[in-house]
Structure 1
């Protein structure tokens, strides 16, 4: 009996503790590169992406034609960034927040890691609300609260099981999502064709500010994957060409994001003309009942599909909860000493009550969370990419990965932190939120905080980093093979 208990404890330790140190090239031998597609296809192919697209007609009062134009531009451009972040996993064996030390330095990297922790809480809240509302919409025995609890608990169990189980789960969970989306288009397709005047020019065009605000919101949903995109490729073959990894990632990010956004925008745009759909949407805060109303013609089978679709929301929730613990462990060695399941428990305890409150104002909360995460994520991604392409010359051999935990051998991080903080001097005046509108946004530009943040952070980082390298020439700053 004692030996069995000892074996169980050992197994739990292997699952609960996660290694944040980079994997060696010898450990990166998994040739199943298609998992770079399936893990993100499942995480993105769910109802949350559809609700992002629905923000256009519901929150920004845009026509479907305007949504198409905005989404084509936003998704094609913004998906380049997280797709390249996926490459860092197999090529360097580093998780995203550990990889940030090669630009932000050992201590400076604590800043994006801490922000990432809060961002993942935000994403978990949004995803759990979507899944919870949908479960509640098809059952007379469940309300939003119970639905949210179910989604979060399932996500906790999956995240507890770790890297390999998550990859296995993400390999298959996309299938019911595909069936649900096909059913939605099959049942509601005729009404969409009839009621959405794509080419009707009689409707006055929306103000440029609204178009830009919707575009940056959609772009934020793409960019926010940057902060943990590398976490799920650290055991995959490092010898695979960079272009192949990037192509796999971009094909799923761009195509899947665009398809989900467009479908959500289409149904939301048609809802006012179809009484049943409009009644299901209500005041615009219950996305679950809206989906049920679309599939009402197929009766119980439609409700079954909606339930299965709701459970697929656990795909992004599980990997987000897993990366929540990894991000916390990246902040300090002290945090790395705590078993990962403790962080998952803490995350669960935080998300459930906040999601229950946020469910009452879903689309308002959704838009706020997306943009707030997007503001810092866009500046962060610009800095990391500038470090890689400008100072590392797009050469992965210029990273001395063995120095990941040695502050003296990493960049000072002053340049990255300064560029990051200074970018907010431009982001804040460019913001347009219900609780604050900056002078640039109020001039008619709309919310361009993501755009100004990305370019200002990148442009500031180059001279700051150049000065930092010059001032610390004797340090191993990672600008060449000698890392000096």
Structure 2
């Protein structure tokens, strides 16, 4: 989150860092509770959900404290285990998955737009932290290759995991009441456990092992949340640099753990809805960052000596104005559980709305940022 200073300037970049801290803690809470539900099912309810969440958070914190290289080693190999586990779950669950017909009409179209917006927001949430994990790459590495690997690394798993998630979620509509009861008891973990429970005792025991692997796969996310959180805090103020980064990681982890345990029965759904709204600032932010880079800094024209010198950074007028307009338009076009904006209502079916937030935000940000940034660079030369 230091890089936005080269577009937004010194002070607005601090606000963006705070927003990103909310994102990191929020998604960490959702991940911790989800993972805890799976461990809770593994123990057949004998291990309290609070303890399950505690175990997962501690492991995630340990990897976050071990640092950059440990995170890379873990992520480099853990995805193989997770992919195999997901394939096994899909294989055993195939006979139980329910083919839910796709709806038709304006309401269904509105739901698709709203869901797509959430998915886009979740994907681009990687952009505010991605630079934290590329600092040791060789300087002569192809930028095209880096971008290509990053895109594939985001896109392919996202599609496959969401297809599997939708399939597992369809079990709640199964004619077998056991699946609905399992979901009420232990959420997603209960559904995964019920898949294996429908087979022999040996398969059921093997399913427990798979559930453990899936539960601890969340560590890859939690570790990133708490590792990047420490870096984000230091962007807010120079005074924060006086405190060792691992302290901020510990503080953020404590907040994440406390909220996860305190709200383990209701907070996951609340935070998911809240974070769906929070992601509406990410599309304008990412659009502005990409416009700045590809139009004015294509040859990596960043003065690396200016990152902590406000007098050498842009004032951020163009970026701030474009960001505010884009974000406000996004909120007005929102169609989510907690809020349906007036623009979304106006173009959507009766009783709901059609979410065109990211489309309108992209157009508005581009139309506002480019001419203002041209003026800003001409006026102050930075």
User: Given the two structures, how large is their TM-score scaled by the length of structure 1?
Assistant: 0.72
Q: After superposition, where does 1:98-109 map in structure 2 within 5 Å?
A: 98-109=2-13
Question: How far apart, CA to CA, are the structure 2 residues paired with 1:458 and 1:142?
Answer: 52
Q: In the alignment, which of 468, 471, 475 is matched to residue 376 of structure 2? A: 468
Provide the residue aligned with 2:360 in structure 1: 452
Q: In the alignment, which of 297, 303, 307 is matched to residue 400 of structure 1? A: 303
Structure 1 residues 162-206: Cα deviation after superposition (integer angstroms, max 9, x where no partner): 1111112222222321221011111012333xx316xx67x5555
Deviating beyond 6 angstroms after TM superposition, the runs of 4 or more aligned structure 1 residues are: none
Q: In the alignment, which of 179, 186, 189 is matched to residue 277 of structure 1? A: 179
Q: 5+ residue gaps in structure 1?
A: 1-96, 478-484
User: Displacement, 1:154?
Assistant: 1.1
- 1:121 paired with 2:25, answer yes
Provide the residue aligned with 2:244 in structure 1: 339
Alpha-carbon contact 2:227-2:249 (below 8 Å) kept = yes
User: Displacement, 1:314?
Assistant: 0.6
Q: How many residues align?
A: 370
* Structure 1, 301-310 or 405-414: larger mean CA deviation: 405-414
Q: After superposition, where does 1:300-379 map in structure 2 within 5 Å?
A: 300-361=205-266, 364-379=269-284
**Change in CA separation of 1:391 and 1:264 when aligned onto 2, cut-off 3 Å:** same
* Structure 1, 141-150 or 362-371: larger mean CA deviation: 362-371
User: Displacement, 1:411?
Assistant: 1.2
Question: How far apart, CA to CA, are the structure 2 residues paired with 1:372 and 1:142?
Answer: 33
Question: How far apart, CA to CA, are the structure 2 residues paired with 1:453 and 1:143?
Answer: 44
Provide the residue aligned with 2:343 in structure 1: 440
**Change in CA separation of 1:328 and 1:246 when aligned onto 2, cut-off 3 Å:** same
**Change in CA separation of 1:399 and 1:423 when aligned onto 2, cut-off 3 Å:** same
Alpha-carbon contact 1:220-1:370 (below 8 Å) kept = no
User: Displacement, 1:233?
Assistant: 0.8
Question: How far apart, CA to CA, are the structure 1 residues paired with 2:267 and 2:239?
Answer: 36
- 1:213 paired with 2:114, answer yes
Structure 1 residues 284-306: Cα deviation after superposition (integer angstroms, max 9, x where no partner): x8121111112222211101110
- 1:174 paired with 2:76, answer no
Q: Say which SS state the counterpart of residue 433 (structure 1) adopts.
A: coil
Provide the residue aligned with 2:14 in structure 1: 110
Q: Say which SS state the counterpart of residue 99 (structure 1) adopts.
A: coil
Alpha-carbon contact 2:96-2:195 (below 8 Å) kept = no
Question: How far apart, CA to CA, are the structure 1 residues paired with 2:218 and 2:212?
Answer: 10
Q: After superposition, where does 1:36-75 map in structure 2 within 5 Å?
A: none
Provide the residue aligned with 1:424 in structure 2: 327
User: Given the two structures, how large is their TM-score scaled by the length of structure 2?
Assistant: 0.91
Provide the residue aligned with 1:238 in structure 2: 139
Alpha-carbon contact 2:17-2:235 (below 8 Å) kept = yes
Structure 1 residues 76-121: Cα deviation after superposition (integer angstroms, max 9, x where no partner): xxxxxxxxxxxxxxxxxxxxx1111111122221121111111111
User: Displacement, 1:366?
Assistant: 4.9
Q: 5+ residue gaps in structure 2?
A: none
Alpha-carbon contact 1:358-1:365 (below 8 Å) kept = no
Provide the residue aligned with 1:25 in structure 2: none
* Structure 1, 421-430 or 127-136: larger mean CA deviation: 421-430
- 1:190 paired with 2:105, answer no
Alpha-carbon contact 2:36-2:56 (below 8 Å) kept = yes
Alpha-carbon contact 1:124-1:317 (below 8 Å) kept = yes
Provide the residue aligned with 2:67 in structure 1: 162
User: Displacement, 1:451?
Assistant: 3.1
**Change in CA separation of 1:213 and 1:429 when aligned onto 2, cut-off 3 Å:** same
- 1:132 paired with 2:33, answer no
**Change in CA separation of 1:274 and 1:188 when aligned onto 2, cut-off 3 Å:** farther
Question: How far apart, CA to CA, are the structure 2 residues paired with 1:135 and 1:414?
Answer: 49
Question: How far apart, CA to CA, are the structure 2 residues paired with 1:358 and 1:264?
Answer: 23
